[in-house]
Structure 1
Amino acid sequence: MPENRTVMALLGEKWRQNYGRDIDYLHFHNYLEIGYCHEGKGAMVIGDDEYYFEGEGELTVIPSNYLHTTNSDPGNISYWEYLFVDVEQMLNKMVPGSPRYVEQMLHQVNQRAIFTNRGKAPELTESIENIIEIMRRGEPFYQEEAEGEMLAFLSKIARENGNIQGGGSVNMREKAKISNLVSRSLDYISDHYREQIKVGDIAKRLHLSETHFRRVFTQYMGVSPLEYINIVRIRSACEYLIKTDDSIAAIAEKCGYYTSSTFNRNFHKTVGMTPEEWRKKPENFERKLLEFNVHSEEGW
């Protein structure tokens, strides 16, 4: 996300393509993703659910850290454009001094992923069409205009999700609570993985016992907190290995490992080769990391 921005647009012909070709895994982002389909046919996989999209006016709203992917039909070219939103930063910027309001709205925006279209949700679709055009034109003060429109859009999403939560089951509300806790822990790990993170410290920040936090995190993500921290660190190390000439020891320290033996052991366990070997042959890195059984929501 560009500095001091809360909305980033991925627009244009680059996003007219055959989605999903040679890719058989889900992914997630650090920010809320909004997708708008201009043309094409295929399947949108969101968590454990699959939706078929066909032509203009299909809309997706996918919370941060939520697994998903887009697959065009074989031989079909699809055209999607995307908006990524730093929801928390936007709310803090536009409604300063209201932490309780920000927390409640952030929680309700992230309740669930949404797949809809112009026929089912004309107001939501029109809002996103307007924001995309604002970003595309890039006229003076366009970012401020887009943020105002986006706040109105997110307010509608939060209100709709709040209504669903109010009439939903206790189980749904509990899942939303757990999702929020894990999301906060992922953010913390992303910000502090270069430091000596202790799982107990993360649990304390969430006001949970370490045992309870480990259980909740592992059930939700499919890997333990420590395993996830190692994945983040090793991913960062791989970027340093391919993009810099830094020594292995220097890279290890930059990524939160303070002994070479620990770094080498964890690197080999995660990637299947030593750092020196990977530096010479990085092409299997992404596929290896994606073999981890990372979380996908059930029933959302």
Structure 2
Amino acid sequence: MAKKKRQMAEYRYYKMPGNAVFFALQGERWRQKYEREIDFLHFHNFLEIGFCYSGSGVMTLGEQDYEYHGGDFTVIPSNYLHTTNSTPGTLSSWEYLFIDVDGLMKKLTDAPPGYVEQLIRRINSRAVFAGSMEYPRAAQLIRMVLDVTREKEAFSQEEAEGLILALLVEMARSGETDWKEAEGIGAEGRVHSDKLIFQIMDYISGHYSENLKMSDIAEFAHISETHLRRIFSSHLNMSPLEYLNRVRIHAACEYLKKTDDSIALIQARCGFTVSSTFNRNFRRVTGVSPAEWRNRPENYERQILKFRIHSEKGW
């Protein structure tokens, strides 16, 4: 039997100008009839933020349609299928920002890597469609970035980068909290243990695919296993083993979303040597089996594998 033909999706890629970590698409050119003659979705290699000044139509994010109007905005992660369609016979006015999130974070913040990783993960966890009334601060920040970029005064790039960072933090705060922060630890001890916990988290992120034991982690941190368990319980309300398994499951989710590799191969790649252990932990973290999770429609990057990809340089 012949394989079912994939729908086409278009990959619109951009190249950042010079050493920049963002650029804007602005002006009268972006007051137009959007996409009506195109019947496929597209995705980008950078985070896209769009602001609608006027007009109406339908914004498609993955498999969900939203009616848009002036004042609405979108925050769309890289590799997220989407498209915009104006109401027939009308024009819509949008302006856009494309952002290298990793590059911006490395350039502007010296926060511990664990904080940066968590912030990026929250920003990339979903696409946002919202109105200015619903998220007034985020909408205001978007407008401010676009205005600063348009005016091109002295130090406008530096000002815009700072505003974008504030915007991304605002969007991350509006998402679900990944870890609960423990209370009841003194300020002085908190500074030291914060630094240590993030060093350990980074170590686990770099070695989760190995046959990692708690004794290995404790040895890396130059602390006892008892102290290791204590600081994880204090900061994250979980044991270091549970955190390790969560990192492994998170990595497995990424492979399930982005590849057609077998579940057995993904299991091994993520540090699980026994299938029952992998399946038990996967269901504990996600609430479903690996196969069920792979087929969930919200796994937007997984949807890309269903399409024939046509690549085109961005506008």
TM-score, scaled relative to structure 1:
0.59
Distance 2:268 2:103 in 1: 20
1:69 to 68, 80, 83: 83
Q: Is the 8 A contact 2:256 2:294 kept in 1?
A: no
Q: CA deviation at 1:34?
A: 0.5
Q: CA deviation at 1:208?
A: 5.8
Distance 1:60 1:179 in 2: 28
Unmatched 5+ stretches in structure 2: 1-15, 181-245, 279-289
2:126 corresponding residue in structure 1:
112
Is 1:140–2:213 an aligned residue pair?
no
1:242 corresponding residue in structure 2:
none
2:254 to 174, 181, 198: 181
1:207 corresponding residue in structure 2:
270
Distance 2:137 2:42 in 1: 28
Is 1:31–2:46 an aligned residue pair?
yes
CA shift in 2, pair 1:158/1:39, >3 Å = same
Distance 2:172 2:57 in 1: 28
Is 1:101–2:101 an aligned residue pair?
no
1:81 corresponding residue in structure 2:
95
Partner SS state of residue 59, structure 1 = strand
Q: Is the 8 A contact 1:178 1:216 kept in 2?
A: no
Distance 1:16 1:143 in 2: 24
1:126 corresponding residue in structure 2:
140
2:28 corresponding residue in structure 1:
13
The structure where helix makes up a greater share of residues is 1
Off by >6 Å, runs of 4+ in structure 1: 183-186, 202-206, 214-218
1:150 corresponding residue in structure 2:
164
1:48 corresponding residue in structure 2:
63
Q: CA deviation at 1:134?
A: 0.5
One-letter amino acid matched to 2:25: L
Partner SS state of residue 43, structure 2 = coil
Q: Is the 8 A contact 2:47 2:99 kept in 1?
A: yes
Distance 2:134 2:53 in 1: 16
Please report the RMSD computed on the Cα atoms of aligned residues, expressed in angstroms. 4.0
Partner SS state of residue 154, structure 1 = helix
Partner SS state of residue 161, structure 2 = helix
The structure where strand makes up a greater share of residues is 2
Distance 1:179 1:78 in 2: 40
CA shift in 2, pair 1:133/1:23, >3 Å = same
Q: Is the 8 A contact 1:182 1:217 kept in 2?
A: no
Q: CA deviation at 1:135?
A: 0.3
Distance 1:66 1:25 in 2: 13
Q: Is the 8 A contact 1:7 1:146 kept in 2?
A: no
- Report % sequence identity: 39
Distance 1:40 1:223 in 2: 29
Q: Is the 8 A contact 1:10 1:82 kept in 2?
A: yes
Point out the structure with max Rg over C-alpha: 2
CA shift in 2, pair 1:222/1:163, >3 Å = closer
Q: Is the 8 A contact 2:24 2:97 kept in 1?
A: yes
Q: CA deviation at 1:15?
A: 0.7
2:226 corresponding residue in structure 1:
none
CA shift in 2, pair 1:179/1:154, >3 Å = farther
Q: CA deviation at 1:67?
A: 0.9
Unmatched 5+ stretches in structure 1: 167-172, 187-197, 240-300
Partner SS state of residue 28, structure 1 = strand
